[in-house]
Amino acid sequence: MEKIQMTTPIVEMDGDEMTRVLWKRIKEILILPYVDLKTEYYDLGLQHRDETADTVTVESALATKKYGVAVKCATITPNVQRMSEYRLHEMWKSPNGTIRRILDGTVFRAPIVCRGIRSYVPTWTKPIVLARHAYGDVYSAVDAVAAEGNKVYLVAEDKEGREVSRQLVHDFNGTTGVVQGMHNCDASIRSFAHTCFKYALEQKLPMIFATKDTISKVYDGRFKQIFAETYAQYEAAFERAGIWYLYTLIDDAVARVVRSEGGLLWACKNYDGDVMSDMVATAYGSLGMMTSVLVSPDGKYEYEAAHGTVTRHYYKYLKGEETSTNSVATIFAWTGALKKRGELDGNAALSAFAARLERATLQTIEEGEMTGDLVPLFSREGITPKKLSSEGFLQAVAERLAQ
Ligand code: NAP
Ligand code: MG
């Protein structure tokens, strides 16, 4: 059989623990037999990040800027315990954070919907894609404790240090308390808006954006205004594509999303996105069925699974015990990258292969063969779900792919 050829490489970012184990096997048994795979390989495994003083992460992000498409394995974000476990020279920053900063991207998270796996919200039959504005607000705020008797102000100075405005935040007369100052930048909000509108058009998804501008008139009002200005550039294209855009209050957005059947893009401010993405992910069942793509305003794409390195399973694997780790989100990270590469290069065979691999993966589950996390969620008449090992599931997909 002729293997599918590639013209441009995909940036491959390897990772850690159980997902690193799955990564290798996905390539070996699901991709390499069919595709003459061209990747530019970066090892983002924690040990190699440490050996390279984390320059490898930066290089992989720059390569993504160059080639336009990357696929990333889950990676460990070091904490105190990992410092000693891996004898690290430094507590390196989250690779995802580093890559996101370099690409100035927005993360879109989408559940993989398949027959037999019901959502906890039974009306959600189509995916809800959630976009989180991953810049500013409370995530880069400064805060402080206010002593009794303090008056706390919000002060602005111009470049020469001259005070241009001063507002009293609170007079802590007779009580102690806390204060916080946060910000966002018009350029960041605008690029978030563009990326969301573009993604909605590309995926043909209607889109909701919400803030609390009735309370936060200036701050959230700015988000509302920038989204409205930006949408003016997309309105005609939205109409042509037969999709809509709705700006509303966050309370109303939550109610609408819960009552919907899914099939929409929900653009969220930073904090809303943090909270709501966990809600949406949980409602769709398993973390193993959630994909994620980082999209930059100039159209660079990095695909990955939304879950982590599944440490608990990895420790079992190291002891030689059988694991049943869901590889679906990691498979879909690969298919997402292969599809996009095919689309950008006009390589229809590559995109078609990616679609075929996705179908084989879903078909495996729909026919009742799945990893342990999905078994309690599965219900289809006449089919008793069968729990497979990590390797067994990949083999079951490989069989269907070969047909
Ligand atoms: P996790 O790896 O997502 O796993 C948390 C738990 O969720 C697992 O123990 C497992 O539950 C379940 N789970 C997640 N993915 C699964 C899958 N594919 N198949 C089956 N079950 C799955 O999160 P964590 O344990 O909090 O974090 C582990 C490491 O991942 C950390 O070092 C963290 O820094 C890193 N992390 C990386 C990323 C990323 O690279 N994008 C994201 C998040 C976390 P049971 O144990 O009950 O089976
Ligand atoms: Mg969260």
Averaged over 140-151, what is the pLDDT?
A: 94
51 found inside a domain:
yes
Average of per-residue pLDDT across 265-286: 90
Closest ligand 1 atom number to CA of residue 94: 34
Residue range(s) defining the domain that contains residue 278: 119-139+183-284
Confidence of residue 104 (pLDDT cuts 50, 70, 90): confident
DSSP letter string over 98-153? HHHHHHT-EEEEEE---TTB--SSTT--SPEEEEE--SSGGGG-EEEEEPTT-EEE
- Decide which of 227, 250, 284 is a domain's last residue: 284
Arithmetic mean of pLDDT, 273-284: 88
What is the Å distance from ligand 2's center to 279 Cα?
9
Asked if residue 261 and residue 134 are part of one domain, the reply reads yes
Does 358 score more than 80 pLDDT?
yes
pLDDT for residue 140:
83
Query: Which residue, 181, 207, 231, sits at the end of a domain?
Result: 181
Q: How far apart are alpha carbons 18 and 23 in whole angstroms?
A: 9
**For 232-258, what is each residue's pLDDT tens digit?**
999 999 999 999 999 999 999 999 999
pLDDT, position 389? 98
Give the residue-averaged pLDDT of 271-299: 89
Q: Are 94 and 54 in contact (CB under 8 A)?
A: no
Q: Does ligand 1 lie within 6 Å of residue 308's CB atom?
A: yes
What average pLDDT score do residues 52-62 get?
A: 97
Share of the chain above pLDDT 90, in %: 90
Considering the chain, what is the average pLDDT of its residues?
95
**Residue 230 and residue 189 in contact, taking contact as beta carbons nearer than 8 Å:** no
| Nearest alpha carbon to residue 74 among 365, 326, 381 | 326
C-beta separation of 289 from 329 below 8 A: yes
Look at residues 181, 196, 231 and tell me which one is the last residue of a structural domain. 181
- 292 in a domain, yes or no? no
Distance, CA 18 to ligand 1 centroid (Å)? Answer: 9
- What distances in angstroms separate CA 247 from CA 188, 193, 209, one per listed residue? 18, 12, 5
Could you tell me the pLDDT band of residue 135, with boundaries at 50, 70 and 90?
confident
Mean pLDDT of 151-163: 97
Same domain as 215, residue 134: yes
Segment (H or E) for 57? helix 55-67
CA of 350 to the centre of ligand 1 (A): 30
Tell me if 389 CB under 6 Å of ligand 1: no
Q: Is the pLDDT of residue 173 over 80?
A: yes
Please write down the HEC assignment for all residues of 281-293. HHHCCCHHHEEEE
Question: Is the pLDDT confidence value at 274 over 90?
Answer: no
278 and 346 in one domain?
no
Residue 265 lies in a domain: yes
| Residue 372 CB–ligand 1 contact under 6 Å | no
- What predicted TM-score, i.e. pTM, was given to this entire model? 0.91
Q: What is residue 139's predicted lDDT score, i.e. its pLDDT?
A: 85
Which residue's CA lies nearest to atom 5 of ligand 1?
310
Residue 291 covered by a domain: no
In short, whether 277's Cβ falls inside 6 Å of ligand 1 is no
Closest Cα to atom 40 of ligand 1: 74
Euclidean distance between CA atoms 362 and 137, whole angstroms: 38
pLDDT at 105 > cutoff 90: no
Structural domain contains residue 160: yes
- 104 phi-psi bin (left φ>0, alpha ψ -120 to 50, beta other): left
- Burial label, 93 (beta-carbon count in 10 A; 0-12, 13-18, 19+): middle
Pick from 99, 97, 108: nearest CA to 62: 99
Q: Per the structure, how many domains does the chain have? A: 3
What's residue 281's pLDDT?
87
User: Is the pLDDT score of 1 beyond 80?
Assistant: no
Which is the closest atom of ligand 1 to the Cα of 304? 41
Average pLDDT over residues 122-142: 90
What the block records as the tokens of 244 is: 């809509």
